[in-house]
Amino acid sequence: MTQKAPRPLSPHLSIWKWGPAMAVSILHRITGDGMAIVGGVLFSWWLFAAASGPEYYAVFQTVMGSWFGYVVLIGLSWAFFQHLLSGLRHFVLDIGAGYEVDSNNMWSSVIPLLALVLTAGFWALILL
């Protein structure tokens, strides 16, 4: 019986050089999961509090109006803008544009900064 040649192995992460595109792609997955989990829990809590009466809803409002609630809500809005902009970047890549290394790295570096600016603007509109 003849022996087959060993199948090639997939390259391990240690041989890849980390760059902005890889970081933004991983961050896209993390923000999507975070929005689904945290947003789902908050939405469920809000529905339960609204259906349970004014005293339970007051607890929800108190927690969400505290510093901890603001941190969670600001984090969710940042995750939304990060995921949105990263999704738009992936859409542009899907149509075949933006694969040049310099262009890809530039947009991958700009997206997190733009997400922070949009989050700050969004909360400035809410709070002011």
Per-residue pLDDT of the chain (128 residues; tens, 9 = 90+): 567 777 666 666 667 778 898 899 999 999 999 999 999 999 999 999 999 999 999 999 999 999 999 999 999 999 999 999 999 999 999 998 988 989 999 999 999 999 999 999 999 999 99
Instruction: Give residue 18's pLDDT.
Output: 81
Tell me the domains of the chain and their CATH numbers. 20-127 (1.20.1300.10)
User: How many other β-carbons are positioned within 10 Å of the β-carbon of residue 110?
Assistant: 14
In angstroms, rounded to a whole number, what is the distance separating the alpha carbons of residues 127 and 108?
Answer: 29
Kindly tell me the burial class for residue 65, based on how many C-beta atoms sit within 10 Å of its own C-beta (0-12, 13-18, 19 or more): exposed
In angstroms, rounded to a whole number, what is the distance separating the alpha carbons of residues 53 and 84?
Answer: 35
End-to-end CA distance of the chain: 78
| Residue 12 known to bind ligand | no
